[in-house]
Amino acid sequence: MEKTINFGEHLTIDGYGGDHDKLNSREIVSLVLDELPGILGMKKLAEPQVYFAPENDIKDPGGWSGFVVIAESHISIHTFPRRGFLTADVYTCKNGVDRELIKRYFTEKFDLKDIEENFILRGTRYPAENNV
pLDDT, tens digit, 9 for 90 and up, residues 61-78: 999 999 999 999 999 999
CA neighbours closer than 13 Å in the CB half-sphere of residue 115: 23
d(CA 85, CA 3): 42
Q: Is 2 a residue whose pLDDT tops 70?
A: no
d(CA 78, CA 131): 38
Q: Which residues contact 4 (CB under 8 A, 6 or more apart)?
A: 124, 125, 126, 127, 128
pLDDT, tens digit, 9 for 90 and up, residues 66-115: 999 999 999 999 999 999 999 999 999 988 999 999 999 999 999 999 99
CA neighbours closer than 13 Å in the CB half-sphere of residue 36: 33
For residue 86, what pLDDT is reported? 98
Q: DSSP code of 125?
A: T
Positions annotated as catalytic residues are 73, 78, 93
Domain spans in the chain, listed from the N-terminal domain onward: 13-79+105-127
Query: Does domain 13-79+105-127 match CATH 3.60.90.10?
Result: yes
Average pLDDT over residues 103-130: 94
pLDDT, tens digit, 9 for 90 and up, residues 3-59: 667 899 999 999 999 999 999 999 999 999 999 999 999 999 999 999 999 998 778
C-alpha closest to that of 112 among 123, 120, 103: 103
The 8 Å CB, 24+ separation contacts for 53-59 are 53/78
For residue 4, what pLDDT is reported? 60
For residue 14, what pLDDT is reported? 98
